[in-house]
Structure 1
Amino acid sequence: MSLWLMSLPENSQIKKTSENDWADSYFIIDQVIRPDALERLYQVSGRVTARRLFVGTDYAGLSDVGPVWIALNGCQEAGLLAATMCQESLAGIAVSTKCSEDSAVAQAQYLLTMYCDGYGESLCRYYDPRLWHALATTLKNTERLMGGWSEVLAPFITSEEEPKVAWLTYKNVKFQAALNEADFLAVGNETLLQHKRVRWYFWLIQNSKLLRYQLNPDILQISIDNLQLLVSCGIHESRHLRQVLPLLSDQNLAEDGEAMMVLRSNLSAAQKIKSLEK
């Protein structure tokens, strides 16, 4: 189990797509990742309705490519399609709520801006499952995150040997229906660090066939540390990082003097990778 998985709240559950009844759920889908989402859903059911979450916010100019709030209005077939699209591309999350849809959408729009010391205000792409997992496992006041929502389900990779995407469920234990829109969601450095862990975890699992070792918690952390070191030394492209994955074992590159000489050199990223492979 990965380090971030060990921080999951006790009321989290892992479910397969078939174990969920999606008909009464709402979805928030990122159109940048799934520009075909609305077209495909409308083809399945005329009952599906959608709201562009950036409308009426500081991000209104990007509404056409921003996230959409999707109401299935009882259509299970459309729900399965929305869930599948989210799974395939890590393109969104599902929401269940007992409050009115308008109140639920207000919470979705409230979350669009977050505040972090040192960075100020910025767009919060909480509908990216990787960021949602980080927020839900690090924020102490989850009522701010969940508001009047009763449950959020986010895609989650369950297997290392043959990656499979299921759904991780977060239940709301405290409800906060009234929002102070001037008081943005506040996140700290721990959330930002957790976001990096989750992103690297997903990336490592998706590329696990290139590894020569099993990702137990200790190895996972060392692998993440090594990948972040490579990025800090100018190796950013996935194709280069994939090349060096087989070399990342239980040894921290930061403790390898020869490797560090290469990484700190003025060589290009491709040349650094080639030198590390020797």
Structure 2
Amino acid sequence: MSTWLSEFLKRPVTAEPWSHAGKRQVYCLVDNVRQPRVLEQLYQLTGVSHIEQVFQGTAFAELNQVSPLWLHVDVQSPALSEVARLCQARRSGVLLTSNTDPSKALQHARRLLQMHSPTHGAALARFYDPAFWSALALTTASPFLFGPWHSVYTPPAHPDDRMWRVWEQAEVVSEVSHDVGYPLRLPDSTLPAADEIRWWYWVRAYQAETAGSLADEQLPRVLANLRLLVEHGVDEGRHLGPLLPHLSQRSLREHPRLMEVLRSELPAFEKIQRLEI
């Protein structure tokens, strides 16, 4: 198992992130693309306020129609559980807490929109993707990642799982000059870690952590087999999903007959039929 996935699995968890907020404000960042009807749903909730488009007023303002949404949620409101559900569905968002001025908490989200990676240079960063945030928190030591935020909570992958992973910084950076520390410069390890954790989310969306049918110790083999299948053109969820119960049993790469099928020019659905795993 990779170091990053191992560290991710060791993170502290909580079933109700808002119960740890204390006097801090609770906010949500939700992906407007993964949840295309999210505004309609949010406006029906009591206890949700100050809904903002994160791209507004940034270099990405022209993309406002696909901007992630920032919202303040009353910690005493029953709407919190519905907002949490929206975050969890399709890996659509994160919850966070902060005791700074609300405008500064939002400003920090806007500062994080652009990051610099060794591979892609300066680029739009979907830091509100739970998998990418997890990778950022695991690989980026800079206090500028959290800024004035105290905690970020990433949701579980499966509806039957309740435990959110907790990401906190020891010392909150309350005041940050606009031109210091941003855009964040990512180490080489961030994108590979994000890829690993995205695969984890995909697998666990099919096989709940609490179901007991797939142990964490089996994940390295499963992920290696999934990458091998994708490498050979079997890359659609409708093909990969049904194979999951079998992918922990053996390494496909070690079986010449299976590799011959994968290397063939057959369509993906025929490869699956002939693999007979």
- TM-score normalized by the length of structure 1: 0.85
Query: Which SS does the other structure have where 1:26 is aligned?
Result: strand
- Provide Cα deviations, 1:19-59, integer angstroms capped at 9, x if missing partner: 62679301111111223333333322376111110012222
TM-superposed deviation, 1:8: 4.2
User: Percent identical across equivalent pairs?
Assistant: 31
TM-superposed deviation, 1:220: 0.6
**Residues matched between the structures, number:** 270
**2:252 aligned partner:** 253
Q: Which runs of 5+ in 1 are unaligned?
A: none
**1:67 aligned partner:** 68
**2:169 aligned partner:** 172
Query: Which SS does the other structure have where 1:149 is aligned?
Result: coil
TM-superposed deviation, 1:238: 0.6
CA distance in 1, matches of 2:111, 2:17: 31
14-23 vs 51-60, greater mean Cα deviation: 14-23
**1:78 aligned partner:** 79
Letter matched to residue 25 of structure 2: D
Query: Which SS does the other structure have where 1:63 is aligned?
Result: helix
CA distance in 2, matches of 1:47, 1:147: 23
Residue 129 of structure 1 contacts residue 156 of structure 1 at CA under 8 Å; is this kept in 2? no
From the superposition, tell whether residues 214 and 275 of structure 1 become closer, same or farther in structure 2 (CA, over 3 Å): same
Residue 17 of structure 2 contacts residue 153 of structure 2 at CA under 8 Å; is this kept in 1? no
CA distance in 1, matches of 2:138, 2:151: 14
Residue 105 of structure 2 contacts residue 148 of structure 2 at CA under 8 Å; is this kept in 1? yes
Q: Which runs of 5+ in 2 are unaligned?
A: none
Q: How does 1:261-276 map to 2 (within 5 A)?
A: 261-276=260-275
Residue 14 of structure 1 contacts residue 166 of structure 1 at CA under 8 Å; is this kept in 2? yes
Is 1:32 the equivalent of 2:29? no
From the superposition, tell whether residues 256 and 47 of structure 1 become closer, same or farther in structure 2 (CA, over 3 Å): closer
Residue 28 of structure 1 contacts residue 69 of structure 1 at CA under 8 Å; is this kept in 2? yes
TM-superposed deviation, 1:216: 3.3
CA distance in 1, matches of 2:155, 2:36: 18
TM-superposed deviation, 1:82: 1.3
CA distance in 1, matches of 2:3, 2:213: 14
Q: How does 1:165-244 map to 2 (within 5 A)?
A: 165-176=162-173, 177-178=175-176, 179-180=178-179, 183-208=182-207, 214-244=213-243
From the superposition, tell whether residues 151 and 2 of structure 1 become closer, same or farther in structure 2 (CA, over 3 Å): same
Letter matched to residue 93 of structure 1: V
TM-superposed deviation, 1:84: 2.3
CA distance in 2, matches of 1:47, 1:86: 14
- Provide Cα deviations, 1:49-73, integer angstroms capped at 9, x if missing partner: 1111001222211212210110135
From the superposition, tell whether residues 82 and 252 of structure 1 become closer, same or farther in structure 2 (CA, over 3 Å): same
Letter matched to residue 266 of structure 2: L
CA distance in 1, matches of 2:81, 2:35: 15
**2:116 aligned partner:** 115
CA distance in 2, matches of 1:245, 1:151: 33
Residue 48 of structure 2 contacts residue 79 of structure 2 at CA under 8 Å; is this kept in 1? no
Residue 48 of structure 1 contacts residue 72 of structure 1 at CA under 8 Å; is this kept in 2? yes
Letter matched to residue 68 of structure 1: L
Is 1:7 the equivalent of 2:7? yes
Residue 2 of structure 1 contacts residue 217 of structure 1 at CA under 8 Å; is this kept in 2? no
| RMSD (CA atoms) | 2.9
TM-superposed deviation, 1:18: 7.8
TM-superposed deviation, 1:17: 2.8
- Provide Cα deviations, 1:161-201, integer angstroms capped at 9, x if missing partner: x8413322211113333143683222234222221221221
TM-superposed deviation, 1:2: 9.0
From the superposition, tell whether residues 8 and 261 of structure 1 become closer, same or farther in structure 2 (CA, over 3 Å): closer
Residue 17 of structure 2 contacts residue 164 of structure 2 at CA under 8 Å; is this kept in 1? no
Residue 2 of structure 1 contacts residue 220 of structure 1 at CA under 8 Å; is this kept in 2? no
From the superposition, tell whether residues 9 and 221 of structure 1 become closer, same or farther in structure 2 (CA, over 3 Å): closer
CA distance in 1, matches of 2:48, 2:160: 33
CA distance in 2, matches of 1:91, 1:272: 32
TM-superposed deviation, 1:96: 0.9
Residue 37 of structure 1 contacts residue 82 of structure 1 at CA under 8 Å; is this kept in 2? no
